[in-house]
Chains A and B, each alone.
Chain A
């Protein structure tokens, strides 16, 4: 039996959440529906769903045939996945070292890494550009991966070390008594237990990297190294914007981000329920 007051309370909470979801999803919904409409229909009634007479795949056709969209797409995937892998691996290892081992300069090192959370990396754009030019990495995906790794590591280390500190000391010591090496403790005990946290951090890392326009624009604007967000810009002109193509490429760009998110969020939910049973 749910008491009426509780039910009203629950309904209120859900109404607010539902409203928020609608507001958050509305722009995405608009992009998706309009990408399936003809140019005229987009301007006549932007809110309308595609109907038989307004339905058109012209945007998708242009994007897939007349541009290097497949290259941009692959570039984005490579940059995001490689960044994610490096950040999660190095971040988890650094977090483990900072939370588990007592060594000279530990606090200073932790503070130094935390500063990265507070200072936006874009402030250093000029120096980063100079550095990348000096390294001869301009117009390479490596440049983007390096910058995004630097950008994402501080928060990753911060969040993961908080989580790792919560793992009972006895577990690590039991493993040590069992003769398990420090590496194996990390891989077989610590990582599985922090999986929900790693999934969360993964989502937080992925989204800004996938969506970034700034660094691809200044570090890798070449035709072969463009990412999706930068590639879309070629359809946006000073005088004429090809809205069909813009909306179609944005619709396509949502898919991989959504896929990675779904994979990670399943881990996230599994982690939460595993914790609830204990």
Chain B
């Protein structure tokens, strides 16, 4: 059992509160990714779990044991740092064996474990080299190897891929996913890159300004973001947002008006908003179609730029009220810049957020 549970965990540096009462429960063997913009407290939260920072208030359990006052080594965690943190004066072998010697006295057992980790990570040829003689990707693998040999209850990754180039990042990402499947251990992974979060995570924790915005599987966050922040953070290109006014709030539908566009109606759970209230509509670029057959939401605008990526084209539109919208269209779009077009989305693809940015419950939105 190596579950992790945070109960109302807070952290303050002096008078500055950086983590505000966070509750997260992570199951044994789960791959959880903390994601958020820089300065949101995700790294601090990871360091709290590691025991590198002291928890100001709240309780932290690892494998059902309260570990607030335990040192990193007593918590049974292994951490992989963004800078790799390899000891520059030691060979790859010694880097991996250094921490291990403390817990494992038997020399042959140490060697067996290091050789085994080296085999998994394809580092066998490099064991005698110094970190300075390795490429970025190899150093990253040594850092991961140093964590593996200790057979920890929990792996903690702090932005492990951000120092790698794009191609290597994708490759290492896949290796980490494979590693998780082979080892089956609990992993907490911090990143600011939502693609890494989406591809690796069993569950994602979206953080903003020291608070948890939403916890859920990648698809839950993608399909039903709980608020505007999550909606904007998950998905690439970003979800389009358009300001609208509630013309009439009926029992099961809303009549909405966007400046310079014809009024339209969307399905809704009653009582969520009142007449005249300002709301924000959110539509993902891939759910918008040019033209389309009687869409629930239709927006007219001028095409500014078209980007062709081969498999997909991005249309950058300016609506009549001046706001920008991105449309992602499969294949090669026939739209040309300067052209006036109408783009639309079905009822189920439109998210509605109230004035405070919270998502309204909508019966028709896809939730899978």
Contacts from A to B (Cβ < 8 Å): 168, 170-171, 173-181, 184, 188-189, 192-193, 274, 277-278
Interchain pairs with CB closer than 8 A, number: 66
Candidate in A171, A173, A188 with the most chain B CB atoms within 10 angstroms: A173
By a CB distance below 8 angstroms, the chain B residues around A174 are: 79, 81, 85, 146
Cα distance, A171 to B143, chains bound together (Å): 11
Cα distance, A176 to B78, chains bound together (Å): 10
**Which of these binds chain A: B97-105, B248-256, B343-351?**
B97-105
Within the complex, what minimum Cβ distance (angstroms) separates A131 from chain B? 42
By a CB distance below 8 angstroms, the chain B residues around A274 are: 88-89
Q: Any chain A CB within 8 A of the CB of B83?
A: yes
Q: Are the C-beta atoms of A189 and B87 separated by less than 8 Å? A: yes
Give the interface SS of chain A, mostly helix, strand, loop or mixed.
helix
Q: Any chain A CB within 8 A of the CB of B50?
A: yes
Q: Are the C-beta atoms of B77 and A277 separated by less than 8 Å? A: no
Q: Are the C-beta atoms of B87 and A178 separated by less than 8 Å? A: no
Q: How many residues of B contact A (CB 8 A)?
A: 26
Name the CB-closest residue of B to A189: B87
Contacts A/B (CB < 8 Å), 24 sampled: A170-B81, A170-B82, A170-B84, A173-B50, A173-B79, A174-B79, A174-B146, A176-B71, A177-B50, A177-B73, A177-B77, A177-B78, A177-B156, A178-B78, A178-B99, A178-B100, A178-B146, A178-B150, A179-B150, A180-B102, A188-B98, A193-B88, A193-B89, A274-B89
Q: Any chain A CB within 8 A of the CB of B72?
A: yes
Task: Given A170-B83, A173-B79, A188-B98, answer yes or no on A178-B73 (Cβ-Cβ < 8 Å).
Answer: yes
Name the CB-closest residue of B to A276: B132
Q: Any chain A CB within 8 A of the CB of B177?
A: no
Q: Are the C-beta atoms of A278 and B132 separated by less than 8 Å? A: yes
Q: Are the C-beta atoms of B89 and A178 separated by less than 8 Å? A: no
Cα distance, A168 to B86, chains bound together (Å): 10
Q: Are the C-beta atoms of B52 and A171 separated by less than 8 Å? A: no
Name the CB-closest residue of B to A278: B132
Q: Are the C-beta atoms of A176 and B72 separated by less than 8 Å? A: yes
Q: Are the C-beta atoms of B89 and A177 separated by less than 8 Å? A: no
By a CB distance below 8 angstroms, the chain B residues around A177 are: 50, 52, 72-73, 77-79, 99, 156
